[in-house]
């Protein structure tokens, strides 16, 4: 009789320890997942800031210069594509995440073309309103880079945690899936050519 009580007590202790470990591991995944979501909201925030600056920039450029219609049309259309993306589930769906990243890349590319073309208009480069908008946009682009890096760091910590054994068992049982990373745009590994 005493032996069965000892076995029962040992089994209960083992189950309690396992339960405590399981709950603790799952809670750590929740904390890391929330960190990823927080980082993602900051990414969205800085992208929204950029999207809000673009109409003012385009209007200033159009107002000051007899500007190439094709260039600002490309910027406006790229911004529109970004704004039309359904953001629900972007973090959970790698395809939607890729679509979001591609649309933001198109917008970045269009803005880069706009800034290159602006160099042909000295009166625009002397316009204080344009210079202020350009400085804000440059600052926003830097913020985007910082927030994307922070997001990738949070996603890496989360992805690593859910893949490590034995935590991967808890992650699988609790439905924690991996998060996508922001990646460099195609061609980013090549330095731009500068010609004088």
Q: What is the mean pLDDT of residues 86-112?
A: 89
Domains of the chain in start order, with CATH, are 41-164 (1.20.1440.20)
Q: Residue 81, Cβ neighbours under 10 Å: how many?
A: 16
CA 67 – CA 123 distance, rounded (Å): 12
Question: How many Cα neighbours within 13 Å face the side chain of 147?
Answer: 19
pLDDT at site 192: 43
pLDDT at site 189: 46
Residues for the chain: how many in total?
Answer: 196
CA 146 – CA 129 distance, rounded (Å): 26
Q: What phi and psi, each to the nearest 5 degrees, are found at residue 68? A: -60, 115
pLDDT band, residue 58 (cuts 50/70/90): confident
CA 178 – CA 18 distance, rounded (Å): 24
Q: Is the pTM of this model over 0.75?
A: yes
Burial zone of 32 (CB within 10 Å; 0-12 exposed, 13-18 middle, 19+ buried) = buried
Q: Residue 157, Cβ neighbours under 10 Å: how many?
A: 14
- Over residues 129-179, the pLDDT tens digits come to 888 888 888 999 999 999 999 999 999 999 999 999 999 999 999 999 999
pLDDT at site 133: 84
DSSP code for 191 = P
In the numeric block, the tokens 């880079």 are attached to 145
- Over residues 8-34, the pLDDT tens digits come to 999 999 999 999 999 999 999 999 999
Q: What is the CA radius of gyration of the chain?
A: 25
């Amino acid at each position: 009789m005493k032996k069965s009580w000892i076995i029962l007590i040992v089994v209960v202790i083992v189950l309690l320890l396992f339960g405590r470990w399981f709950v603790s591991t799952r809670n750590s995944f929740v904390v890391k997942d929330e960190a990823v979501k927080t980082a993602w909201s900051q990414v969205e925030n800085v992208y929204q800031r950029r999207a809000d600056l673009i109409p003012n920039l385009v209007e200033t450029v159009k107002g000051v210069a007899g500007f190439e219609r094709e260039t600002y049309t490309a910027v406006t259309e790229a911004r529109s594509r970004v704004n039309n993306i359904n953001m629900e589930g972007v973090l959970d769906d790698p395809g939607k995440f890729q679509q979001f990243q591609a649309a933001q890349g198109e917008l970045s590319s269009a803005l880069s073309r706009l800034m290159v073309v602006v160099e042909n208009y000295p009166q625009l480069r002397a316009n204080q309103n344009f210079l202020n908008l350009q400085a804000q946009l440059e600052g926003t682009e830097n913020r985007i880079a910082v927030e994307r890096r922070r997001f990738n760091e949070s996603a890496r910590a989360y992805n690593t945690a859910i893949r490590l054994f034995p935590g991967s068992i808890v992650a699988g049982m609790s439905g924690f899936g991996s998060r996508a990373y922001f990646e460099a745009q195609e061609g980013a590994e090549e330095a731009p050519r500068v010609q004088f």
